[in-house]
Structure 1
Amino acid sequence: MKIALLGTGFGQAHAAVYAARDDVEVVMFGRDPDKTAKAAAQFGFDYSTSMDTAFEDASFDLVDICLPVPLHADYVLRALDAGKHALVELPLADNLADAQRVAEAADRSDRQVFVDMFERFIPANQALVEAVREGAYGRLEQLTLWNRMAPLWPGASLGLTALPLEAMHSDMDIVARTLGLPQGIEVATVARDDDSACIEATLTYPDAFVRDTVSSLMPMPWGARGGYTATFTGGVLEATSTMSFDGKPTGTVTAYTADGVHELALASADQYSAMIDHVLAVLRGGADNQIAPASVLDALRLTLDIDQAVKRSR
């Protein structure tokens, strides 16, 4: 399978996964010739600075879009118009109208569109979603999620303007898939500077509430850490994880019930590799698409609502 990988920033996370496979051919695309050549050489890929080639060259099967968020929707639509499958980094778009346009176009097309909802492939998150779906511990009453990180990604801003779409979106996908959309949202914020901040969002439901905290205020030795505490009518699930710049978390999930305490047995998984495994399996007819655009609209709607609440709070 031949893949056009657009973007030399976060695109490198996808590139590292592709480079470990022997069943794909990748060409990396970027606007800066020197930067693109350097990134491509790191992974042993060919490169190009002509974005048009990614869509015009009939040999490409999949366009992997790791470009700035405002470009996501238009580039997915362009890929579909060119008869290509598309994988796009999250979020799908920076507004709901564009996201819905993509979802509708994907539904009409015979091509597949995937949104990199990598958190769906983290075993700890899968354990929570399955517990809610199966009612393993009763009804979910309260969910606390937290992610606190150092500036591990040089050049990336994680200030108040970036945190909702860049860092909270994955948490909102968990929330949307377990409790749906809330009745109300309140946020509190603190900003150290333009690139470092913290947001705490409280979401209310008729019989539950959620608190989500995302912070980029941590010192470099902290790395990135996160987790959740999910309180059910019949028990508690608690997850903790640590993550370095490679984006590969390690962690545990512990269940607390009237019968005692036990750690859940989780499969070992790198979420980016698992996401790309899923994409390629779908394209080869071995799986159904679990990260299609229509499946992410509620999470995006919720994330954009938080983004607006943060803007109002400022």
Structure 2
Amino acid sequence: MKIALLGTGFGQAHAAVYTARRDIDVVMFGRNPDKTAAVAGKFGFASSTDMDRAFEDDFDLVDICLPVPLHAEYALRALDADRNALVELPLAGTMDDARRVVEAAGRSGKQVFVDMFERFIPANRALLDAVRAGTYGRLEQLTLWNWTAHLWPGVSLGLKTLPLEAMHSDMDIVTRTLGHPRSVDVTTVARDGDSAAVEATLGFDGAVARDSVSSLMPMSWGARGGYTATFSDGVLEAASSVGFDGKPNGTVTSYNAFGAHELDLPPADQYAAMIDHVLACLRGEADNDIAPVTALDALQLTLDIDHQANGNT
């Protein structure tokens, strides 16, 4: 299978997964010749600065890890060129662009995937399963947090980018467990243009959620996060740490009237699991669980938060 990987920033997280596989060929595309060649060489890939090649050569998948304003544009280019596409979060910077991709994907015979990597984290699956099954009763309070150092070279995590690029996955958890909130309140702090923190409080009928994301941490911190989900009959608490390789260490603990115990969950590399799912879908071995239409609710809520954080129209 041949893959065109567009982008040398966060594209490195995808590259780290691809380089471990022997059933694919990857060409990395970037805008800066020296940087593109250096990053591609690090992973043993060929490189190119001719973006048009990604849509002209016989690639099976175009993996789009470019700046957010280009996500929808390049996804649509891939579909126009009869290519499958994997789009890094978020699908688009506006709902209009996101819906255009959804509509184009529906008309095409190709597949589009959105990197909803958090859906492949066992701790998150445990939370969603508990909500759906009513294992601990009704979900009343959900707190999520994700605090990180700058682990991705060249990627800004300032106030302009943090909501869309760091909170989106949490908003997917929120919308899949509680739906869309009736109120959204946002507080921010910015150290500089590349480092900031955002906190959102979300009100629902009979429930409340809070999400805290930050890029203010030193490199020695790495990336850490988790959630506390309070139900009417118990609590689920998850905590994890993750490095640049995308491989997390974490635990999920259940608390109820009978005591506390740690859930026995399988280890998982969420990025590898996501890409494995994409490749399985392309081989016809699985149904697409991360299609663009499934990301719309979370994207709308993320854009609402971004509007409050940055005053976007």
TM bucket by the smaller chain? Answer: over 0.9
Q: Which moves more between the two structures, 216-225 or 288-297?
A: 216-225
CA positional deviation for 1:245? 2.4
CA positional deviation for 1:194? 1.8
Unmatched runs of 5 consecutive residues or more in structure 1? none
Partner of 1:13: 13
Equivalenced residue count is 312
Q: Which moves more between the two structures, 268-277 or 239-248?
A: 239-248
Q: Distance in 1 between matches of 2:24 and 2:151?
A: 29
Q: Secondary structure at the match of 2:77?
A: helix
Residue identity matched to 2:207: A
Structure 1 residue 50 and structure 2 residue 50: aligned? yes
Q: Secondary structure at the match of 2:71?
A: helix
CA positional deviation for 1:283? 0.7
Partner of 2:216: 217
Residue identity matched to 2:76: L
Matches within 5 A, 1:33-48: 33-48=33-48
TM-score scaled by structure 2? Answer: 0.97
- What is the CA deviation profile of residues 233-278 of structure 1, one whole-angstrom value per residue up to 9, with x for unaligned ones? 1110000011122232210000001111111111111001000000
TM-score scaled by structure 1? Answer: 0.97
Partner of 2:179: 180
Partner of 2:191: 192
Kept in 1, the 8 Å contact 2:236–2:252? The answer is: yes
CA positional deviation for 1:7? 1.1
CA positional deviation for 1:84? 0.5
Residue identity matched to 1:268: P
Q: Distance in 1 between matches of 2:35 and 2:274?
A: 26
Q: Distance in 2 between matches of 1:178 and 1:229?
A: 13
Partner of 2:207: 208
Unmatched runs of 5 consecutive residues or more in structure 2? none
Q: Distance in 2 between matches of 1:154 and 1:27?
A: 20
Q: Secondary structure at the match of 2:252?
A: strand
- What is the CA deviation profile of residues 134-153 of structure 1, one whole-angstrom value per residue up to 9, with x for unaligned ones? 11111111000011122223
Matches within 5 A, 1:241-280: 241-280=240-279
Partner of 1:164: 163
Partner of 2:93: 94
Kept in 1, the 8 Å contact 2:9–2:153? The answer is: no
Q: Distance in 1 between matches of 2:278 and 2:166?
A: 22
CA positional deviation for 1:155? 2.7
Residue identity matched to 1:78: R
Structure 1 residue 122 and structure 2 residue 121: aligned? yes
CA positional deviation for 1:312? 4.2
Residue identity matched to 2:15: A
Aligned CA-pair RMSD:
1.2
Partner of 1:23: 23
Residue identity matched to 1:239: A
Q: Which moves more between the two structures, 146-155 or 5-14?
A: 146-155
Residue identity matched to 1:145: L
CA positional deviation for 1:156? 2.3
Q: Distance in 1 between matches of 2:153 and 2:283?
A: 36
Q: Distance in 2 between matches of 1:44 and 1:153?
A: 19
Q: Distance in 2 between matches of 1:112 and 1:154?
A: 30
Q: Distance in 1 between matches of 2:105 and 2:293?
A: 8
Residue identity matched to 2:18: Y
Kept in 1, the 8 Å contact 2:9–2:152? The answer is: no
Partner of 1:105: 104
